[in-house]
Amino acid sequence: MPATRFGLPVPAPWVPATRKALVVGVLAAFAWAATGRAQSPNPFGQPSPDRPQPSAAIKAVPGSRAQGWLSQGRSEVVARHGIVATSDPLAAQAGLDILRQGGNAIDAAVATGAVLDVTSQNDTGIGGDLFALVWVAREKKLYGLSAAGWAPAGWTPEFFTARLGVTRVPGTGVNAATVPGAVAGYDALLTRFGTMTFKETFERAARIADEGWGLAERRDDDLRGAAKGLAADADSRATFLDGDRAPDLYGIIRNPALAKALRLIQQQGKDAFYKGDIAAAIVAKVQGGGGVMTRDDLAAFEPEWVDPVTTNYHGYDVFQLPPPGQGFAALEMLNILEVCVPKLGFNLTALGPSDPMYWHLMVEAKKLAYTDLLARNGDPKFTTVPVAQLLSKDYAATLCGKIDPSAASKPGVAGGSDGGTIYLTTADRWGNMVSLVHSVFGVYGSRATVGPYGFVLHNRGTAFSLDPKSPNVVAPHKRPFHSIIAGFVMKDGRPLMAFGNMGGSVQPETHAQHMVNLIDHGMNVQMTTDTARFTHNQNSNMLSLEQNLFALVGAALGQKGHQVRAVDGGAVGGYQGVLFTRDPRLPEPVFDRRSVTDDLPVNGVYRAGSDHRKDGQAVGW
C-alpha cells in the first residue's frame, strides 16, 4: 500500500390446470391477508411507548461501500466555496446559508453555534462556555479565543463547605453554574473578525426556537436519560418535558422563551445577556436557589484572546488552546508516542490499529499525559501551569521508561469527568477556518433552567476542587479546569485542518487518536471517525473499547493487565473535521466583496467529515 497522509490517495411439481388455478387463488388470498398490513409494530421506524427507539431491536448487519475502506460510513464532503461540519443538520445548514449570503467562516460559526444552542441543549446553549481557534487568511495567523466563564465573587471553599455543607462543588443545581461565557465569545468573534452581527447570525436560530424542530435520535436518547433530573427543576420541567416524560422521538419541539432571549440579543447585543433583562433573570434564578451570583459577576465578565499552544507531530504542527483547557494533554500524548514508541522498538504505522500492542502503547501514553494534566492544570491567572516544559520532546523522553510493553500500568493521578459538548468547524471562500467548541458540560448542564428565557445553565463549576492544595481550587472570578478543546493542524506555516472531538474527558485522547489515524495511517477525514476508538478512565483505570474493537483486541489487552470492557459509540464522543488542500496553481483569494459578487471559490478544495455517532453532517457549497 502506498504511503498517504490524510487519505490523499428445485422445479415445482405438475398440477392439473383447474386445480392449480384454485390453489393459486387461495394462496394469493392468504398472501394478501398476511401482507395487507405491516408485520412490524413500528413501520418506518415510528416510535411507540414500548419501543421509543425501534431500530435498536432490529438484528441486521451494516452494508459495505463500493470503494475505499468498505466500512466507511459515508463519503467525505468536498467543496470550494464554503463548508460546515457539526452534530446537527439544521445547524450545519444555517452556517452554510450564511456563507451563501456572503458571510465568512466566523459569521457562519456563530450562526451554526446559535442553532445548536436551540436544538442541542443536552450538550450546549447560551448558558454555557465557548472556545475557538480561528485562522485568519488575510493575516495568515491563528488566533485563540477563551470564553470560559468565571466563578461568582462569592465562591470560596468555605462557601461550599460551611454554608452549603458539601465536600465538593455540586454537579447539578444553581451552585454548579459559573458565569456563562458563550454569548460574550460570540460577540468577540463577530466584533473582531466577522462581517455580520447578531441580527443576521442569530436569525435562523430564533426562528427554529419559535417554529419548532424535530427531535432526532441522539438527542432523544440524552433527553430520556435526563428526564428525571430535569423534572426536579420546575423551569426545566416546563421547558424540556411533556409532563414528567421526554417528548417522543421525532416529535416537534418548540422553545418560544429561548426565541425571546435570542431576539433580545439580536436587538441589544451581548449587553442583553450580561447587563439587561436576561442577566436579571439569571441572577433571580441563581439566588432563588440559594446561589450567590450577582449582576456584577455577569457585567464584569469578558472573554480573552490567547496564544494557542502547539507541538510538532511527525512534521505537522498541531495546535490546541492553553489552560485552563485540557488541550495540552493531547499534545503531550502525541509527544510521548513520537518519542517513546521508537525507543521501545515499535512503529505505530507498522503495527496498525488491528494489533493489540498498538492500542496498549496508545493507552499507556494517554495515562502519562493525563497524569500531568490532572496534577498541573488550572487557571493560569491563579496558578503556574508549566506548559512549555510539559510539551518539550526532552520531557517526553523522560517518561518512556514508565511504559512497559508487556504490562498495563496504574495511572499516577486519578480524575476526570464525563460531559456533553458540541463541536463545529467552518471554512469559507477566502480561506478562513474556524475550530469551535461550546458546551454546558454535563448532559443538560446544571439542569437548572432560566425559565423566562428557556435555556439551561451549565454546570462547569463542578470541575473546581475544594482542596486548597489543588491548582484548581475554587476562588472568586477564577475559571475552572475546562474539558472542552478545539484542534487545528498546520504544515509549513499553512493551514491544513480544523478538527475536534467532543465528549468530556475523552477529548485529548481522541484528538491524539485522530492525529495518529490521519498522519501515521493516512486515513481521510471521514474514515478517521468511522474507525473504532478507545477511552480510558483515569479514576477506575477502566479501558473502554468500542464493540468491534473489543472483539478484535480486548482479550489480548486483558492479558496485559488492562481492565477492559466493550462500549457503544456514546462513550467516545463525536468528531467533526475540515481539511484544506491548497492548489499552488491558483491565485490567492481576493479579500474584498469581489469574491462574493463574482462568486469566487477558494484557491483549493475543502474536504469534511462528520461523526455517525451524532445526529449531524458535513455540508458544502
Q: What is the pLDDT of residues 448-470, one digit of tens each?
A: 999 999 999 999 999 999 999 99
Q: What average pLDDT score do residues 238-263 get?
A: 96
Strand partners, 305: 145
What local confidence, expressed as pLDDT, does residue 136 receive?
98
Distances (CA, A) of 126 to 147, 149, 182, 210: 12, 12, 6, 16
27 — pLDDT class (breaks 50, 70, 90)? very low
Q: Which residue has the cell 501515521?
A: 520
37 — pLDDT class (breaks 50, 70, 90)? confident
What's the gap between Cα 526 and its chain centre? 15
pLDDT at 207 over 80: yes
Q: What average pLDDT score do residues 256-279 get?
A: 98
pLDDT at 578 over 90: yes
pLDDT for 520-565, tens place per residue?
999 999 999 999 999 999 999 999 999 999 999 999 999 999 999 9
pLDDT at 11 over 80: no
pLDDT for 307-347, tens place per residue?
999 999 999 999 999 999 999 999 999 999 999 999 999 99
C-alpha cell at 148: 470560559
Question: Cβ distance 300 to 123 under 8 Å?
Answer: no
pLDDT at 57 over 90: no
pLDDT at 29 over 50: no
What local confidence, expressed as pLDDT, does residue 2 receive?
53
Q: What average pLDDT score do residues 421-426 get?
A: 94
Q: For 421-432, give one letter per residue: b (16+ CB within 10 A) or e.
A: bbbbbbbbbbbb
What local confidence, expressed as pLDDT, does residue 418 receive?
67
Higher-confidence residue: 580 or 49? 580
pLDDT at 26 over 70: no
pLDDT for 153-201, tens place per residue?
999 999 999 999 999 999 999 999 999 999 999 999 999 999 999 999 9
pLDDT at 25 over 70: no
Least Cα distance to 197 among 103, 72, 312 occurs for 103
Domain ranges within the chain, ordered by starting residue: 76-621
In the 3-class helix/strand/coil scheme, how is 539-567 assigned residue by residue?
CCCEEEEEHHHHHHHHHHHHHCCCEEEEE
Average pLDDT, the chain: 93
Question: Cβ distance 307 to 323 under 8 Å?
Answer: no
pLDDT for 363-388, tens place per residue?
999 999 999 999 999 999 999 999 99
Quote the CA–CA distance of 521 and 529 in Å, as a whole number: 13
Least Cα distance to 608 among 582, 581, 574, 576 occurs for 576
What local confidence, expressed as pLDDT, does residue 18 receive?
41
Three-state SS at 151: coil
What local confidence, expressed as pLDDT, does residue 415 receive?
75
117 — pLDDT class (breaks 50, 70, 90)? very high
Question: Cβ distance 606 to 496 under 8 Å?
Answer: no
Sheet holding 563-567, edge to edge: 534-536, 542-546, 563-567
The single-letter code of the amino acid at 537 is N
What are residue 592's phi and psi, to 5 degrees?
A: -155, -175
Quote the CA–CA distance of 481 and 463 in Å, as a whole number: 6
61 — pLDDT class (breaks 50, 70, 90)? confident
What local confidence, expressed as pLDDT, does residue 243 receive?
92
Residue 73 makes CB contacts below 8 A (sequence gap 6+) with 526, 530, 612
Q: DSSP assignment, residue 427?
A: E
Q: What average pLDDT score do residues 585-596 get?
A: 92
Higher-confidence residue: 305 or 45? 305
32 — pLDDT class (breaks 50, 70, 90)? very low
Environment class of 102 (CB within 10 Å of its CB; exposed 0-12, middle 13-18, buried 19+): middle
